Structure 1
C-alpha cells in the first residue's frame, strides 16, 4: 500500500505526518516545510511562507485535508468552498494553487482566472456559463475584477451567472464539487459588482478566509 503521508518531489521524499494504515495524522510544520519547497518549485526560489501568514495557512490546510475537528474549531463548513480575500499581492493566488498539492492523488480543483471565463463567454456565449456552472471543482481567481462579457452585442455579468449556477449545483450535489475563489474586493464591493442576490448565494457557497488588510505586496 502506498503511504499517503509521503510525497515524492524530484526523487526527494517529504513527510506530511504519520500513516497508521488507515488514517494520516498530519503534522502542520511538516506540511509547511513541504509547501515552502513546493512553492519554490512552482513560483521560483524567492518564494517563502511568512510567519504571520501561518494561522491563515493552518486553517486552509485543515480544510484541505478534511480535519473536521479543526474545521469545527475554526468555524469552517466542509460542505462549502473557500473565498480567500486580501490586498493586491498578498499571495492569495499562489496559496490556492499551492495547497492543492497536500492532498494525495489528483488536484482537487482547477484554478481558473475569471478573465478567462469572460474570454470564453465572448466566443461561446452562455455555453460557458453552463460549462463552469454545472460541473467540476474550480477556484475562480480575481473574482470581481473581470470585465463584463459581451456576446452578439449583449452585455452579461458572466461571473454572477456562474455563481448562481454554482449555488444551484451546491444545493443539489453531494458537496464533492467545490467552488472556491480569490478576490481583492470587500463584501460590499462584491455586492455592488454582482448584486444582493448573488452576494446572498455566496454566503451559502463560501467559507470566508482573509489575509490581514495590511499584508504587504509580496511580489517584490
Structure 2
C-alpha cells in the first residue's frame, strides 16, 4: 500500500509526517521543506518560502490536509473554499498553484485567471457562465480586477454571475464542489465590485485568508 505521508519529487522522497496505517500525522516543518522544493521545481530556483508567510502557510496547509484542530483554532470551515487576499506580488497565485500538490490523491482544482473568464464571455456570451458553473473545482485568480463583461451591447458582471452559479452548485452538492479564488481587493472593494448579494454568497462560499496588507512585493 502506498504511504500517503511521502511524496516523490525529482527523484527525491519527501516525508510530510508519519502514516499510522489509517491517517497521516502531518509535521508542519517537513511540509515546508517539501513546499520549498516543489516551489523551486514549479517556479524556478529563485522561489523560496518566506519566514513572514509561515502563519498564512500554516492556515493554508491546515485547510488542505484537513487538520481539524488547527482549522477550528483558525475558524476555517473545511467544507468551504478559500479566498486568499493580499497586496499585489505577495505570492497568492504561487501558493495556490503550489498547495494543490500537497494532497496528490485529492481532486485538484484548475487555476483560471478571472480576466480569461470575462474575455471568454465577451466572445461566447452566457455559455461561459454555464461552463464555469459546472462540477469542476476552480481557483479564480485575480478576482475583482477583470475587465467588464459585454456581449452584444449588454453589460454583465461576469465573475459575479459565475460566483452566484458556483454558490448554487455548492448548496446543491452539499458543499462537495469547491471554489477558490485569489484577490488583491479587500471586503469593501469586493462589495463595490460585485454588490451586496454576491458578497453575502461569497461569505458562504469562502474562508477568507488574508496576507498582511504591508506584505512586500516578492517579484521585485
Q: What's the TM-score, normalizing by structure 2?
A: 0.97
1:47 aligns with 2:43: no
For 1:106 and 1:55, the matched residues in 2 are separated by 24
For 2:177 and 2:168, the matched residues in 1 are separated by 12
Question: CA deviation digits over 1:87-136, x for unaligned, max 9?
Answer: 00000000011111010226521111001111211222111111112321
Gaps of 5+ in 1: none
Aligned to 1:134: 134
Aligned to 1:184: 184
For 1:34 and 1:94, the matched residues in 2 are separated by 15
- Cα drift, residue 35 of structure 1: 0.3
Alignment of 1:28-177 (within 5 A): 28-105=28-105, 108-177=108-177
For 1:151 and 1:115, the matched residues in 2 are separated by 15
Question: After TM superposition, which residue ranges in structure 1, 4 or more long, deviate above 4 angstroms?
Answer: none
**What secondary structure sits across from 1:78 in the alignment?**
coil
For 2:51 and 2:107, the matched residues in 1 are separated by 26
Aligned to 2:20: 20
**What secondary structure sits across from 1:102 in the alignment?**
coil
Question: CA deviation digits over 1:184-206, x for unaligned, max 9?
Answer: 00111111100111111111111
For 1:210 and 1:9, the matched residues in 2 are separated by 29
- Cα drift, residue 174 of structure 1: 2.9
